[in-house]
Structure 1
Amino acid sequence: MILDLFGTLVAAPSVVERRAAAAQFAAILRVSPAVAESVLSDSWQARHDGQMESTTEVAVHLVARCDASAACVDELEVLLARLAHVRLQADASLLRALEQLRRGGARLAVLSDASPDIAEAWSASDLAPHFDAVVFSCRAGAVKPDRLLFRTVLRDLGVAPQQALYCGDGGGDELAGAERAGMRAVRVERRGGPSGLAFGETAWSGRAIPDVEALPTLLDRWGQR
């Protein structure tokens, strides 16, 4: 089973949360919150598609884009790491569902558009021990729905496409991308609610469930067919 991260396993940030984070960036970089938010939005692709290999490189990039002092890099790097840690906090109910899936014999993987700060924070998160493989876009060098990502996670998980189920909230055209890669796909309602930010979301008329916690029941029903 392959799962998306933001909006699926952990809440997608809301507009309010994104603005609050931008305000923290702005305070460090000594620019207006509007400038910081614009730079963060404009740099999304570069931060997620492998152009930057570390949190340090992300901080350097943001400092340069804001025309801020290089002395800000260290403080900005600390902020990026702290925010990444917070974003990877998982609900206890979600962790129990993952454990139930593993006890049932499922092999689990994460496939996520993510920046280097998230990739570096992953191993210390409560989520990490539950997964057999993890593929982050910043490490693979592509963003969803690039087929490279789906091929990579299938390879790392050691399963054929027809053996895999992809589960996500639909950002990045991921559900159709998973189907094009030969997998079954199921949509979950966006964790964090409909105000959560998503990029590249497309319409979906296939199977849907309320959350990842419903997956063990779904698999049991499929197994009874």
Structure 2
Amino acid sequence: MRRTRRRGGAILFDLYETLVPDRPQAHRDEVSRRMATALGVDPERFAALFRGTLPARMRGEFGNLDETIRTLAYRLGGEPTEAAVRFAEVTRMRFCRDLLWPRPGVLAVLDGLRARGHALALVSNCSVETVTLWRGQPLASRFEVAAFSCLLGAVKPDPVMYLKVCSDLGVAPEECVFVGDGHGGELTGAAALGMRVIRTVEYADSDPGWTGETVRRLGDLPGLLAA
């Protein structure tokens, strides 16, 4: 591993429910039903299938979004046209683009941490849509490196996710802070590698059994780190 001394150390952030809020499952299902209507398959079955294949999609098992949509439609007996697939793809991407837009203040927190000398990295369990949209979003420029589960074929708390960004930054895990809402055991996964772990509950309290450091708002993070 290439080792680089960082004045402020490295901070690894989760994405959804940490930097940006997710949407209720009912909202997600409605998007899936609109996709299904265009594809000519049963809306409820497609919504259930899209929801049920999230773990596989987060590991990138279906390829890009076009391939994912076709595969799932075929499983339900559909034979969508190119135009239908394109409509479904645009519908999904619009939803995901809205998800990735940060609320006021988030960018200021990240910029402040960078100004203090912290190297910032993203570690996200996500499907391919996030990767496709990422570079065009305002959050992207704040991070030196990013690890996406659908590209690595692994999801947090798999050590592969955390160690990828540590390697890219040239830092050891024990030199890092991990910040996340705690979904899927990501906090304990980071702690097991020797990272300092801080839970944020601004958008979701996904690990209520966590007894370690916690911030109510992301805006409280700089003060905790400084202290």
Contact 2:200 2:217 in 1 (8 A): yes
Partner of 2:99: 87
**2:198 partner SS:** strand
Q: What one-letter code is carried by the residue in structure 2 that aligns with 1:105?
A: G
Partner of 2:155: 143
Deviation at residue 15 of structure 1 after TM alignment: 2.6
Do residues 40 (structure 1) and 50 (structure 2) align? yes
Unaligned runs of 5+ in 2: 1-10
Partner of 1:20: 30
Report percent identity of matched pairs: 32
**1:109 partner SS:** strand
Measured against aligned partners, the alpha-carbon deviations of 1:8-35 in whole angstroms (never above 9, x if no partner) come to 0000221332232223223223334421
Greater CA drift, 36-45 or 50-59: 50-59
Greater CA drift, 148-157 or 100-109: 148-157
CA distance in 1, matches of 2:173, 2:194: 5
Partner of 1:65: 75
Measured against aligned partners, the alpha-carbon deviations of 1:182-222 in whole angstroms (never above 9, x if no partner) come to 2111100052x56xxx6xx573111110122211111111x
Contact 2:36 2:88 in 1 (8 A): no
Contact 1:12 1:190 in 2 (8 A): no
Runs of 4+ in 1 over 4 A off after TM superposition: none
CA distance in 2, matches of 1:179, 1:210: 20
Do residues 176 (structure 1) and 188 (structure 2) align? yes
Q: What one-letter code is carried by the residue in structure 1 that aligns with 2:53?
A: S
RMSD of the alignment, in Å? 1.7
Contact 2:40 2:80 in 1 (8 A): no
Partner of 1:4: 14
Deviation at residue 170 of structure 1 after TM alignment: 0.5
User: TM-score w.r.t. structure 1 length?
Assistant: 0.89
**1:70 partner SS:** coil
Provide the aligned length of Structure 1 versus Structure 2: 215
CA distance in 2, matches of 1:75, 1:169: 33
CA distance in 1, matches of 2:125, 2:51: 14
Aligned match for 2:40, one of 30, 34, 49: 30
Task: List aligned pairs for 1:104-115, cutoff 5 A.
Answer: 104-115=116-127
Task: List aligned pairs for 1:147-166, cutoff 5 A.
Answer: 147-166=159-178
**1:77 partner SS:** helix
For the structure 1 residues 29 and 187, does the alpha-carbon distance in structure 2 shift closer, same or farther, using more than 3 Å as the test?
A: same
Q: What one-letter code is carried by the residue in structure 1 that aligns with 2:63?
A: E
Contact 1:166 1:185 in 2 (8 A): yes
Deviation at residue 58 of structure 1 after TM alignment: 1.9
Deviation at residue 136 of structure 1 after TM alignment: 0.4
Q: What one-letter code is carried by the residue in structure 2 that aligns with 1:5?
A: L
Partner of 2:65: 55
Contact 2:31 2:91 in 1 (8 A): no
User: TM-score w.r.t. structure 2 length?
Assistant: 0.88
CA distance in 1, matches of 2:35, 2:171: 41
